């Protein structure tokens, strides 16, 4: 029996590449595979587990016959095309922020709120990659003790912004490497800056995303709003700060959490270690380099709070292109079949 017909929309982007790989790594039963991207990439031929496939123009593509469409083409294209694909009979799993907060669109982290998939009306949303990493650590604790408040600071890699940001970090690192002494005395010269407002090479930008309200960025508001929806805690208190760091792959989150009852570090470690898709590293600090290419979110530095007692401090890090995006999308598709 043939599997579902699948389309990858945004197939030539950073997440699209990983989507193509993960489908075949996990032996997803693809009947027919179609690859779609912008007009600029149309006509490109890409090798896949089903042979060479020519990339179609998304604007001109007929969605007829597609069962599952994995979208990772950005919010604007999702708003333009996702409902068109759904109306033609496809279930759209969308990786953008376009539909995440809509009432009729489930926001799903596989392993946390799988049952939400059943409530879709043609579109299912993938959470923000930073939220995804944090939820893998927070959800097991919430199920046991009732999460009531959280402070979270993210350390987000440039691949979360896409291929242009990866190139920008590479070029800026090379630029600064030519005169390393200038980084010590402040005589460094500004490199080309196209993606971010300030240089990201050998630097830290405490401002990920674009400002939306009260000095907060859209990345920070996603961390609050999406956490509330995934965990089904509409009144959850979240204090977010999102930071862009000079890392290629891997988003880290330092979080402090408080619960309806006290939670000890030992209990927290046991709860998180028992959850699917996450590992506790007790004897070694997990870093972005460790999580790159891995499906699991890694959690380390689980500690009791120093101020208000009974809370937990921890560090979680995950590959933002895999569990943070492509892997979760494919796992949602697996739930659908």
Q: Give the CATH number of domain 130-163+194-320.
A: 3.30.360.10
Of the pLDDT bands very low, low, confident and very high (cuts 50, 70, 90), residue 21 is very high
| pLDDT tens-digit series, residues 244-260 | 999 999 999 999 999 99
Question: Is residue 118 predicted with pLDDT exceeding 90?
Answer: yes
From the list 285, 296, 275, 326, the residue with the least C-alpha distance to 10 is 326
Look up 81 and say whether it is catalytic.
no
Question: Is residue 1 predicted with pLDDT exceeding 70?
Answer: no
At 225, give phi and psi (nearest 5°): -70, -40
Q: Quick one: how many helices (H) and strands (E) in the chain? A: 9, 16
Q: Which ranges in the chain are annotated with CATH 3.40.50.720?
A: 6-127+326-336
**Would you state the pLDDT for residue 2?**
78
Percent of the chain with pLDDT over 70: 100
Look up 251 and say whether it is catalytic.
yes
- Domain spanning 6-127+326-336: CATH 3.10.290.10: no
How is residue 53 written in tokens? Answer: 């496939």
| pLDDT tens-digit series, residues 133-156 | 999 999 999 999 999 999 999 999
**Would you state the pLDDT for residue 18?**
93
Distance (Å, rounded) from C-alpha 223 to C-alpha 299? 18
Per-residue exposure over 181-195, b if at least 16 CB sit within 10 Å of its own CB, e if not? eeeeeeebeebeeeb
**Would you state the pLDDT for residue 332?**
97
- Give mean pLDDT, residues 319-330: 95
Catalytic residue among 81, 120, 142, 251: 251
Catalytic residue among 120, 129, 142, 242: 129
**Would you state the pLDDT for residue 157?**
98
Q: Which ranges in the chain are annotated with CATH 3.30.360.10?
A: 130-163+194-320
Q: Would you say the C-alpha torsion 279, 272, 289, 164 has a positive or negative sign?
A: positive
């Amino acid at each position: 029996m043939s599997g579902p017909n699948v389309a990858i929309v945004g197939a030539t982007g950073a997440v699209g590449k990983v989507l193509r790989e993960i489908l075949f790594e996990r032996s997803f039963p693809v009947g027919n595979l179609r690859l779609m991207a912008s007009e600029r990439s149309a006509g490109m031929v890409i090798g896949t587990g089903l042979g060479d496939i020519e990339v179609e123009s998304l604007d001109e593509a007929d969605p007829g016959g597609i069962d599952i469409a994995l979208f990772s083409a950005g919010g604007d294209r999702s708003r333009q095309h996702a409902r068109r694909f759904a109306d033609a009979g496809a279930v759209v799993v969308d990786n953008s922020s376009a539909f995440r907060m809509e009432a009729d669109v489930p926001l799903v982290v596989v392993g946390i709120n799988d049952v939400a998939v059943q409530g879709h009306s043609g579109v299912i949303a993938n959470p923000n990659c930073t939220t995804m990493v944090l939820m893998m650590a927070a959800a097991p604790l919430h199920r046991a003790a009732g999460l009531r408040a959280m402070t979270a600071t993210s350390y987000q890699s440039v691949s979360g912004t896409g291929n242009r940001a990866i190139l920008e970090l590479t070029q800026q690192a090379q630029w600064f490497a030519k005169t390393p002494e200038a980084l010590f005395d402040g005589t460094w010269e500004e490199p080309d800056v196209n993606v971010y407002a300030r240089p990201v090479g050998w630097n830290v930008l405490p401002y990920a995303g674009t400002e939306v309200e009260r000095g907060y960025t859209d990345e920070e508001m996603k961390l609050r709003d999406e956490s509330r929806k995934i965990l089904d805690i509409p009144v959850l208190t979240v204090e977010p700060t999102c930071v862009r760091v000079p890392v290629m792959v891997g988003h880290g989150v330092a979080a402090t959490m408080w619960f309806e009852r006290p939670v000890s570090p030992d209990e927290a470690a046991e709860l998180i270690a028992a959850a699917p898709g996450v590992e506790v590293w007790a004897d070694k600090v997990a870093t972005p380099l460790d999580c790159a290419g891995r499906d699991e979110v890694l959690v380390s530095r689980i500690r009791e709070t120093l101020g208000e007692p009974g809370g937990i401090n921890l560090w979680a890090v995950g590959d933002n292109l895999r569990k943070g995006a492509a892997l979760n999308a494919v796992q949602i598709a697996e739930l659908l079949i």
